[in-house]
Amino acid sequence: MTSPQRPGDATPRPLDEEDARCAGFDAAVSQHRDELFAFMRRRLGDRETAADLTQETFSRMMTYRDAPQIEDHRSMLYRIAHNLIFEYHRSRHRHHATQHVSLDDAGPISLDQPPVEDTANDRQVLQVLERTIAGLPRKCRIAFVLTRFDGLTQPQVAEKMGISLRMVEKHIQRALHACREAVGDRDF
């Protein structure tokens, strides 16, 4: 190998040992660029951050260019990359921690949900209604369920059950009365 010419030199000069080591370092490091970028991208999930940290990895690796004791350049690159990923995640965590707001400073938390007591009470009412509906006579229960839960009209229920429209009305009235008796006067 020969080194680049110096100004004023007519002939190329041979590479000395240090120049050869640096050229070997450059070749060894550059051959892992794509592989290292892919590694960073998988670990970080973001192309731009991976590109930035890959570049930083190579920048930090250059500080070891003149160090003769590096035997495995690839391992050294990955160690630096791993450390950078760790630093990146640690700094992001620190950034989120500084944005923490004390609950004392935040004030009351408003919920769009009803209070827990109302939810518990509603569940109890539903259980009572389920037992009440299950205790209705068979045809009364079927007519009520078809109108209130399956969405059929009263004439459709009459046709489906093979009974008169007036009988469907009586079954529904009886079921509504039983439900109101069980849980009080609520809107059914």
Whether CATH 3.40.50.2300 fits 126-183: no
Please state the domain extents for the chain: 17-97, 126-183
Residue 154, both tokens: 């009263």
Q: What is the pLDDT of residues 119-150, one digit of tens each?
A: 788 888 889 999 999 999 999 999 999 999 88
* Rg of the chain in Å (alpha carbons): 39
pLDDT for residue 109? 59
Return the C-alpha torsion angle 171, 172, 178, 181, nearest 10. Answer: -140
Give the lowest-confidence range in 108-112, 134-138, 170-174.
108-112
Inform me whether the pLDDT recorded for 1 exceeds 50.
no
42-51, long-range: CB < 8 A, 24+ apart = 43/85, 44/85, 44/88, 49/88
Distance separating alpha carbons of residues 61 and 55, to the nearest angstrom: 10
Q: CATH classification of 17-97, choosing from 1.20.144, 2.40.50, 3.40.1350, 1.10.1740?
A: 1.10.1740
DSSP 15-69: P-HHHHHHHHHHHHHHTTHHHHHHHHHHHHS-HHHHHHHHHHHHHHHGGGTT-TT
List, in sequence order, the alpha helices (H) in the chain: 17-30, 33-44, 47-61, 73-98, 103-106, 116-134, 138-148, 154-161, 165-183
Other Cβ atoms less than 10 A from the Cβ of 81: the count is 24
pLDDT for residue 158? 95
Give the lowest-confidence range in 25-29, 44-48, 88-92, 136-140.
25-29
pLDDT for residue 56? 92
Residue 49, both tokens: 């951050």
**3-class DSSP state of 174:** helix
- Look up the pTM and report it: 0.42
CB 85 within 8 A of CB 44: yes
